[in-house]
Structures are given as structure tokens and as C-alpha cells.
Amino acid sequence: MSFFKKIFSKEKKETLDKGLEKTKTTFLDKLGKAVAGKSKVDADVLDDLEDVLISSDVGVATTIKVIDRIEERVAKDKYLGTAELNGILRDEIAGLLSEVNNGDATDFTIPKQDGPYVVMVVGVNGVGKTTTIGKLAHQFKQKGLKVVLGAGDTFRAAAVDQLQIWADRVGVEIVKQDMGSDPASVAFDTLQSAVAQNADVVLLDTAGRLHNKVNLMNELTKVKRVMQKIIPNAPHDVMLVLDGSTGQNAFEQAKQLLRLQK
């Protein structure tokens, strides 16, 4: 499909295809079951289709959009055969993807301001904070922004090295201290260095923590307070990283950890 050709190179598409093979097979499998024995797209098929999309991790908002669009088509065409459903789904989902691609829904833009824009990255253990920092650093660098990473996870062995690897890969500055040092002190150094270098954005890594551990939450408050000695309204953003498999508990994590943003 031309749209996919536009956004993915051949090698990237091959890797993506391989990674998505299992999802694709189960998705088509479920879709086949939803339309088995039916010749027409009716309310039952749409109901089943909704289940298939949701259980294939398409996401509620996107599923509703897709179902709404198919409903509109059914209303317009009067008779819509299930044989056409595959093609229609492909069109509708590709349409939605290109809307997202053209808009800035997935684009995390840094507002223009004097001094570095400070993003503090928080979340429970192992959700992908450090990896997200690596990806964001790459995106920002591509856009021509000067990025400084702060190795604020001084707790876990190898956390500093992990961020260093990302900094080397992406080719951005990193400010770090030894494992076991005070994260607030690392944050202070990072902001001081970012200001001195006239950086556009600071991405501060933090150690993973459960949002109900009071002492660890207080540690983040201290990091914030210390950063404000250098940049009074830092952090400009607190980014909560969530694992895609997190359920209801995500709300509690957001409630507790995003308090820091206020």
C-alpha cells in the first residue's frame, strides 16, 4: 500500500512485518470467525468486529471510529457483503493512520522558550522510561534541537551505563554521577550544564518506583525542588511512562505520579 511505502523503508517494513506476524494471523483468524456463515455486514457482525478490534489491542477510540465509519458505509451502500469487509477495514484503518501521521497527535513538540525545556520521566519499574528517553532524544535531535540527558536513576546498577549507551547511540550530551549518588544532585548538575550549553531540551531519567512508596515519591519532590533552584518553573513536563499491558492501575499511577506536574 502506498501509504506504508511512504512511511517505512523496505528493511523497516520487513522487520515490522516479521514482528507483527503473530498479531496479524490472530487478527485475521478472529475476523474470519466473526464473519463465518454471514453474507452481510449487519449489527451482529459489527458487534463481533468491535470485539475483534478491541481484543487485538486496536484501542477503544480507534475501534469506535472504525465501527462508526463502517456503519456509515453500510447505511449508504445498503448491502455490504462480508467478503468486502477485509478491504474496507484496510481502507478505514489506513485512513486513520494517515490522519494520525499528518496531524501532530503522536508528535511531542517542545514549545519555544528561553532556556531548556525540562522533561522529567517517571514511572514504575521497567516500564520503558530509559528506552523512551532514548527514542525522544533521537526524535528531538533529528529536529535540530540540542538535547541533554540527565542520569537521575542512580539506584539500579547499570542504569547510568544504559543511559550512556543511548546518549552515545543518539549522539547527545549526558550528565551523570556514580551509582548511589543523590538523584537531586544529578538533576541540579544536569540543568546547570544544560543552561550553560544553551540546550533546548533536558530529558531527566529517574529510577523506577511504585507510586505508593511515600519515601520514593518524596525523593521526586526533592528532585523537583532542587531543579527549581536553576530553572524556577522546571520541570516543564512530567512524562509518565506506562506499560501497554497495565490495566486499571494506570489511573492510580497517573494520579500519584503526575501530581509532580502541579
The set of cell numbers assigned to 129 is 522510561
Per partner kind, with CB cut-offs from 5 to 8 A, the member of Mg ion, ligand GTP, none near residue 126 is ligand GTP
Written as nine digits, the cell of 224 is 523537583
**For the purposes of burial, counting CB atoms within 10 Å of the CB of 153, is it exposed (0-12), middle (13-18) or buried (19 or more)?**
buried
Start-to-end C-alpha separation, the chain: 45
> Cβ distance 201 to 113 under 8 Å?
no
The only residue of 69, 71, 128, 256 in contact with ligand GTP, by rule CB under 6 A: 128
The pair phi, psi for residue 8, each rounded to 5°, is: -120, 135
Which of 150, 183, 208, 235 is the binder for ligand GTP (CB under 6 A)?
208
d(CA 160, CA 179): 7
Contact of residue 127 among Mg ion, ligand GTP, none (CB under 5-8 Å per partner type)? ligand GTP
Cα–Cα distance between 205 and 183 in angstroms, integer? 9
> Looking at 131, 197, 212, 221, which residue binds ligand GTP (CB under 6 A)?
131
Closest distance to ligand GTP from the beta carbon of 59 (Å): 15
Least Å distance between CB 151 and ligand GTP? 11
Contact pattern from residue 111 through residue 130 relative to Mg ion, giving x for each residue in contact according to CB under 5 A and a dash for the rest = ------------------xx
Helices (H) and strands (E) in the chain, counts: 10, 5
Residue 41's SS3 state is coil
What is the SS3 assignment for 147? strand
Q: Which stretch binds ligand GTP (CB under 6 A): 27-35, 58-66, 89-97, 123-131?
A: 123-131
Q: Find out whether the peptide bond into 235 is cis, omega within 30 degrees of 0.
A: yes
Of 19, 81, 126, 171, the one binding ligand GTP (CB under 6 A) is 126
Q: Which residue is nearest to Mg ion (CB)?
A: 130
Nearer to ligand GTP, 133 or 175 (CB): 133
**Which residues of this protein are in contact with ligand GTP, per CB under 6 A?**
123, 125-131, 153, 156, 159, 208
Contacts to Mg ion by CB under 5 A:
129-130
